């Protein structure tokens, strides 16, 4: 069985929090490989936890999204703002009992709603 | 709303149809078994095998062309567009390459084993044509890549090495037809270095920068270090080419091994960091094989040093080849393959599905347990056969290896059956709401 190390979630300061809109991505993934400050801008909104992983190179988006869903204790949905269909993500979601649906997003954006199945 | 993966033509077209990569993987699994059987047929010559037509050479090429390159084609054509954010360029060409390449490999191996140079030449022609077409596809993928410069640099370096491998393979095939194009020792030295450490080695190292962090769930390694490691490896290969043409061969080769050692050390340090910092710590038997493969890569350089310095150990050339091809490349690839096949299957089944099957539900554990034990026992047995110069031990090891390969085949067939079973209900069900 796979073992996932539990991880504390850190929310970077987000001037757009609560606005319900997407924001440009934060700095790309840490080149040093340090995961203590996971890449991807995150904020909470009425429809769930948001994460913007646009501009991150693989597997940055995968790691950031998995880290976030690992930290969600209740049934809060996770809204992903991406610039491409995250094909590498779906097997990891399936292993954790999460499902993904596309929802309307900005032009050029792929927006997914992730929920515990 | 619609199911993820079903909505973006441009995005989902980063995935080849599942039948394309899986036909390459399926052929690799079949040739894996045939390679061990060919080795069993040539076991009496294996402990001191260095070169020359016969079943040991056929077994070697069933592994290199049949398993390693076959898998590399399927994996690189599938993974590079996904990782470098570009659409798949063609589905017809990869399929055509498979139809040309797969029988070509069979003809090469049969020609070598049965000592039929004409058949080997026919097969080699098909293999060279198929690999030239693959090189064109790979170049297109690398030219269109966005991001991941470390992976792309490794891809281009592997691409250049592939051209050297094809040229030297042609020279060696013509030698057996009585048309010497290049001094045989030079062609052989270039062929071994550029095929094993160059084309296959650099592809394996480059794709590791995608796969290892992906499986360990860690951040991408530092691109500058990845490029530095690749630069050292390319420098080592360039110097090895000079040595093959007779430029200060012994001194230069010792220096080549030192530079290659630095490249390998830098790569392995990055892999170790990726595994150490990853969210997923327990990666199971598959990554035990990967770690064994990495160890054998380092050991192959030590054996190479022994060969260069004429160390007084019988069968050292054979041992070097065993560590390099079976110990490093094959062991590493089988470790990665058993992890990535269920992952890719789940990824493909996620197309148009809200709830795809999990990778673990598509995998089959028992055959992999058998394969794990048999593979490691077979590699150890072959090493013992070389040291003890014992054909019976070589035959026993090849038999155990064949058993392991058959178990791996059961894993693959089970995966295919579960893929089909998972796909069937979705084909008959109503399509997702658009």
Q: Which residues of A touch B85 (CB under 8 A)?
A: 84
Q: Which residues of A touch B4 (CB under 8 A)?
A: 85, 90, 100-102, 112
pLDDT tier at B72 (50, 70, 90 boundaries)? Answer: very high
Please tell me the distance from the alpha carbon of residue B100 to that of residue B96, in angstroms, as a whole number.
6
- Most confident segment among A3-7, A16-20, B82-86: B82-86
Counted across chains A and B, CB pairs separated by less than 8 A come out at 140
Q: Shortest Cα distance from B87 to chain A (angstroms)?
A: 11
Segment B67-93 shows an average pLDDT of 86
Q: Which of B347, B388, B297, B269 is nearest to B82 (CA)?
A: B347
Residue A32's pLDDT is what? 36
According to DSSP, residue B198 is labeled I
Per the CB < 8 Å rule, is A84 touching B210? Answer: no
Name the burial class of residue B411, with classes exposed (0-12), middle (13-18) and buried (19+) by CB atoms within 10 angstroms of its CB: buried
- Global pTM reads 0.87
- Most confident segment among A15-29, A47-61, B286-300: B286-300
Among B16, B150, B267, B279, the strongest candidate for a mutation testing the A interface, having the largest count of A CBs within 10 A, is B279
Domain assignment present for A42 = yes
Give bridge partners of residue B416 from the DSSP assignment: none
Please tell me the distance from the alpha carbon of residue B36 to that of residue B91, in angstroms, as a whole number.
32
More confident residue, A10 or B69: B69
Residue B227's pLDDT is what? 97
Over pLDDT 90: what percentage of chain B?
A: 71
More confident residue, B424 or B230: B230
The angle at the Cα of B78, spanning B300 to B236, to the nearest 5 degrees, equals 30
Segment B354-383 shows an average pLDDT of 93
Please tell me the distance from the alpha carbon of residue A79 to that of residue A92, in angstroms, as a whole number.
16
- Most confident segment among A69-78, B14-23, B132-141, B325-334: B325-334
Segment A27-35 shows an average pLDDT of 37
Give bridge partners of residue A52 from the DSSP assignment: A41, A81
Domain residues for A71? Answer: 36-116
Domain assignment present for A56 = yes
Lowest-pLDDT range, B16-25, B54-63, B365-374, B405-414? Answer: B16-25
Mean pLDDT of chain B: 90
- B182-217, pLDDT tens digit by residue? 888 999 999 999 999 999 999 999 999 989 999 999
Is the CB of residue A28 less than 8 Å from the CB of residue A60?
A: yes
Q: What residues contact residue B274 under an 8 Å CB cut-off, 6+ apart?
A: A33, B212, B213, B216, B218, B219, B221
Please tell me the distance from the alpha carbon of residue B2 to that of residue B430, in angstroms, as a whole number.
12
Per the CB < 8 Å rule, is B346 touching A39? Answer: no
Domain assignment present for A45 = yes
Per the CB < 8 Å rule, is B219 touching A91? Answer: no
Residue B427's pLDDT is what? 55
Q: Which of B337, B335, B305 is nearest to B319 (CA)?
A: B305
Please tell me the distance from the alpha carbon of residue B417 to that of residue B394, in angstroms, as a whole number.
34
pLDDT tier at A35 (50, 70, 90 boundaries)? Answer: very low
CB of B356 less than 8 A from some CB of A: yes
Domain assignment present for A16 = no
Q: DSSP readout, B5-73? A: TSS-HHHHTTSPPTHHHHHHHHHHHHHHHHHHHHHHHTTTTGGG--SSSSHHHHHHHIIIIIIIIHHHH
Per the CB < 8 Å rule, is B350 touching A90? Answer: yes
Domain assignment present for A3 = no
Segment B355-367 shows an average pLDDT of 89
Give bridge partners of residue A100 from the DSSP assignment: A114
Residue B57's pLDDT is what? 95
Per the CB < 8 Å rule, is A94 touching B4? Answer: no
Residue B11's pLDDT is what? 40
More confident residue, B312 or B376: B376
Question: How many distinct structural domains can be found in chain A?
Answer: 1
Residue B264 has pLDDT above 90, yes or no: yes
Q: What residues contact residue A81 under an 8 Å CB cut-off, 6+ apart?
A: A22, A50, A51, A52, A53, A54, A105, A109, A111
Domain assignment present for A6 = no
- Which residue in A has a C-alpha nearest to residue B281's C-alpha? A3
Domain assignment present for A31 = no
Q: Are strands A48-52 and A78-82 parallel, antiparallel or unpaired?
A: parallel
CATH of the domain at A104: 3.30.110.40
Q: Which residues of B touch A5 (CB under 8 A)?
A: 279-281
- Which residue in A has a C-alpha nearest to residue B352's C-alpha? A101
pLDDT tier at B353 (50, 70, 90 boundaries)? Answer: low
Lowest-pLDDT range, B144-148, B211-215, B287-291, B412-416? Answer: B144-148
Q: Are strands B2-3 and A78-82 parallel, antiparallel or unpaired?
A: unpaired
Chain B residues 252-291 with a CB less than 8 Å from chain A? 273-274, 277-282
ipTM score for this prediction:
0.76
Per the CB < 8 Å rule, is B359 touching A94? Answer: yes
According to DSSP, residue B277 is labeled H
Q: Which residues of B touch A92 (CB under 8 A)?
A: 217
Q: Cα dist. B200→B9, B67, B173, B205, B364 in Å? A: 32, 11, 20, 9, 27
- Which residue in A has a C-alpha nearest to residue B278's C-alpha? A35
Residue A77 has pLDDT above 60, yes or no: yes
Q: Which residues of A touch B350 (CB under 8 A)?
A: 87, 90-91, 94
According to DSSP, residue B134 is labeled H
- Coarse DSSP helix, strand, coil percentages of chain A, rounded to the nearest 5 percent: 15, 25, 60
- Most confident segment among B73-82, B106-115, B135-144: B106-115
Residue B323's pLDDT is what? 97
Q: What residues contact residue A109 under an 8 Å CB cut-off, 6+ apart?
A: A22, A54, A81, A82, A83
Residue A56 has pLDDT above 60, yes or no: yes
Domain assignment present for A5 = no
CB of B359 less than 8 A from some CB of A: yes
Residue A9 has pLDDT above 70, yes or no: no
Segment A64-84 shows an average pLDDT of 89
pLDDT tier at A36 (50, 70, 90 boundaries)? Answer: very low
Per the CB < 8 Å rule, is B217 touching A3? Answer: no
Cis bond upstream, residue A59 (ω within 30): yes
Count of C-beta atoms within a 10 Å radius of residue B24: 24
Nearest to A32 among B5, B222, B282 (CB): B222
SS (H, E, C) B78-114: HHHHHHCCCCCCCCHHHHHHHHHHHHHHHHHHHHHHC
Q: Which residues of A touch B358 (CB under 8 A)?
A: 91, 94-95
Per the CB < 8 Å rule, is B280 touching A4? Answer: yes
Residue B428's pLDDT is what? 54
Query: Token pair of A92, please?
Result: 């990891």
Is the CB of residue A101 less than 8 Å from the CB of residue B2?
A: yes
The strands making up A78-82's β-sheet, listed across from edge to edge, are A41-45, A48-52, A78-82, A110-116, A98-103, B2-3
pLDDT tier at B51 (50, 70, 90 boundaries)? Answer: confident
Q: Which of A117, A82, A81, A2 is nearest to B355 (CA)?
A: A117
């Amino acid at each position: 069985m796979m073992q996932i190390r539990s991880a504390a979630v850190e929310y970077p300061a987000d001037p757009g929090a609560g606005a319900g809109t997407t924001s440009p991505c934060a700095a790309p993934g840490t080149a040093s490989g340090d995961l203590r400050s996971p890449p991807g801008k995150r904020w909470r909104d009425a429809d769930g936890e948001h994460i913007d992983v646009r501009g991150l190179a693989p597997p940055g988006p995968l790691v950031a999204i998995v880290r976030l869903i690992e930290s969600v204790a209740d049934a809060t949905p996770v809204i992903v703002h991406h610039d491409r269909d995250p094909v590498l993500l779906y097997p990891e979601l399936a292993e954790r009992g999460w499902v993904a649906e596309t929802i309307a997003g900005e032009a050029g954006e792929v927006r997914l709603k992730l929920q515990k199945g | 709303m619609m199911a993820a993966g079903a909505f973006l033509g441009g995005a989902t077209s980063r995935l080849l149809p599942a039948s394309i990569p899986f036909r390459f993987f399926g052929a690799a699994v079949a040739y894996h078994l045939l390679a061990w059987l060919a080795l069993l047929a040539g076991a009496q010559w294996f402990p001191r095998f260095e070169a020359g037509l016969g079943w040991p050479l056929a077994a070697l090429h069933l592994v290199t062309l049949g398993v390693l390159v076959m898998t590399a084609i399927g994996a690189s054509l599938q993974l590079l567009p996904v990782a470098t954010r570009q659409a798949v360029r063609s589905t017809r060409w990869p399929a055509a390459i498979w139809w040309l390449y797969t029988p070509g490999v069979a003809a090469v191996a049969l020609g070598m084993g049965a000592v039929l140079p004409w058949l080997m030449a026919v097969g080699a022609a098909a293999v060279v044509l198929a690999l030239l077409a693959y090189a064109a596809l790979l170049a297109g993928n690398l030219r269109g890549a966005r991001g991941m410069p470390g992976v792309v640099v490794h891809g281009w370096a592997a691409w250049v090495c592939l051209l050297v491998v094809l040229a030297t393979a042609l020279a060696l095939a013509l030698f057996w037809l009585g048309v010497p194009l290049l001094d045989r020792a030079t062609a052989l030295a270039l062929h071994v270095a550029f095929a094993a450490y160059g084309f296959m080695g650099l592809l394996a190292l480059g794709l590791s920068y995608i796969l290892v962090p992906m499986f360990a769930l860690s951040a991408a390694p530092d691109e500058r270090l990845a490029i530095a490691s690749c630069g050292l490896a390319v420098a080592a290969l360039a110097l090895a080419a000079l040595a093959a043409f007779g430029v200060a061969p012994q001194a230069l080769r010792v220096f080549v091994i030192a530079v290659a050692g630095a490249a390998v050390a830098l790569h392995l340090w990055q892999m170790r960091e990726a595994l150490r910092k990853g969210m997923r710590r327990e990666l199971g038997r598959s990554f035990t094989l990967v770690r064994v493969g990495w160890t054998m890569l380092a050991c192959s350089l030590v054996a190479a040093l022994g060969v260069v310095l004429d160390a007084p150990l019988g069968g050292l050339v054979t041992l070097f080849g065993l560590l390099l091809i079976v110990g490093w490349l094959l062991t590493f690839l089988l470790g990665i393959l058993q992890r990535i096949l269920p992952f890719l299957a789940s990824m493909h089944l996620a197309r148009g599905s809200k709830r795809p099957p999990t990778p673990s539900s598509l995998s089959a554990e028992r055959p992999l347990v058998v394969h794990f034990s048999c593979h490691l026992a077979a590699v150890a047995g072959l090493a013992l056969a070389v040291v003890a110069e014992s054909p019976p031990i070589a035959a026993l090891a090849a038999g155990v290896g064949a058993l392991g390969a058959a178990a791996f085949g059961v894993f693959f067939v089970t995966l295919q059956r579960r893929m089909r079973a998972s796909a069937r209900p979705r084909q008959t069900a109503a399509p997702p709401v658009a």
